[in-house]
Amino acid sequence: MPHCTPEDLGLAALREPLGPDAAEHLAGCASCTDEVGRLRRAVDVLTVPELAEPTAPVAPPPALWAGIAAATGVSSAPRPQVVAASAPPAGPVPDAPPVPLAPLPAEPVPLRPAAARPLPPEPPVAPVVPLRPRRSRLLLAAAAALVVGLGVGAGAVALSGREDEGVAVAAAQLDPLAGSDATGTASVVEREDGTRVLRVELAADAPAEGYYEAWLLTESVSGLVPLGVVRAGTEEFELPPGIDIGEYPVVDVSVEPLDGDPAHSGESVARGLLES
């Protein structure tokens, strides 16, 4: 089958289904797939719910016109009751466009919202959006820890080679961070079916409050991947498919308060660098 027509590539960029032949070709053709990706960038930039066709009308506050009159100098004026009548009372919108939900972080979560779709929702009335305080603390703590901590423990754990279920492909010694006496080891084990797990063995007292959570971090701590709750003893976490442990080589264990906030608390108790 020849390459897809340019028209089909455009429709595919808009995520319209193609005919069976074109769809089959596209699935197996790197060059057509690449072109769809290039066209789709513009689609993804603009098809955000905030820019979609207007849905629910909302009457602006009556005082708003005064600013328009002042800026334009017009002497006519709308009748406030007509403006108010143009918006039905607030209620459910029957045909609001579907709002894409942000997926749960199955893939690396950057510390700062990156240029990804959908646009992160902004707080309604905050002109300045500073770094989240919890995260900036994480950055500081992590930067300090990487200077003093990593390298000491790194590579100190001999790879045990073939494990009972799979092959250890990388390992780290987890060293305590300031104020903590938690220690442990971590290893990445590749199973026969190709999936990989992070096996964490943690020696630590239960935290006074909250729980321990395991993370993979980039070396610069610019990104992190949550893995799950760690208890003392040995725990295994399946790694998200496709994650590159060369890119996320730092195993981090934090204390997380029971506050429902999925972000890193900034309070790490142990950390180590995976080495293959």
Partner 1 sequence: MTGLLEPRTGRWSPRVGDVTTQAEPVPPGAAEPDDDEVGRRFAAGDEQALAWAYERWAARVHGMAVRAFGPGPDAEDVTQQTFVSAWTGRAGYRPDQGPLPAWLTGVCRHKIADTWAKRDRQRRAAEAAIIEAQARPTGGPQPVDAAVADRVLLLGELDRLGQPQRGIIELAFFADLTHAQISERTGLPLGTVKSHIRRTLERLRDRLEVDGAALHA
Q: How far is the CB of 1 from partner 1 (least distance, A)?
A: 19
**Which position among 28, 130, 161, 179 is part of the footprint of partner 1 (CB under 8 A)?**
130
Stretch that binds Zn ion, among 14-22, 30-38, 50-58, 204-212 (CB under 5 A): 30-38
Pick 95 or 209: Cβ nearer partner 1: 95
Contact flag: residue 29 with Zn ion (CB under 5 A): yes
Give the one entry of Zn ion, partner 1, none that residue 92 binds, where binding means its C-beta sits below a cut-off of 5 to 8 angstroms depending on kind: none
Q: For residue 161, is it left (φ>0), alpha (ψ between -120 and 50) or beta? A: left
Burial of residue 3 (number of CB atoms within 10 Å: 0-12, 13-18, 19+): middle
- Under 8 Å between Cβ of 234 and 250: no
- Residue 82 touches partner 1, criterion: CB under 8 A: yes
Q: Name the segment binding Zn ion (CB under 5 A); options: 2-10, 66-74, 99-107, 201-209.
A: 2-10
The residue within the footprint of Zn ion, chosen from 32, 172, 227, 255 (CB under 5 A), is 32
Q: Cβ–Cβ contacts within 10 Å for residue 225, how many?
A: 22
Quick one: tokens of 109? 């979560």
Which of Zn ion, partner 1, none sits in contact with 32, Cβ below 5 to 8 A by type? Zn ion
Name the segment binding partner 1 (CB under 8 A); options: 76-84, 190-198, 203-211, 241-249: 76-84
> CB of 166: closest distance to partner 1 in angstroms?
37
Site string for partner 1, 25-64 (x = CB under 8 A): -------------xx-xxx-xxxxxxxxxxxxxxxxx--x
Looking at 20-28, 122-130, 181-189, 243-251, which segment touches partner 1 (CB under 8 A)?
122-130
Binding stretches for Zn ion (CB under 5 A): 3, 29, 32
Binding stretches for partner 1 (CB under 8 A): 6-7, 9-11, 13-14, 16, 38-39, 41-43, 45-61, 64-65, 67-68, 71-72, 74-79, 82-83, 86-87, 97-98, 112-117, 119, 122-125, 127-131, 136, 140, 143
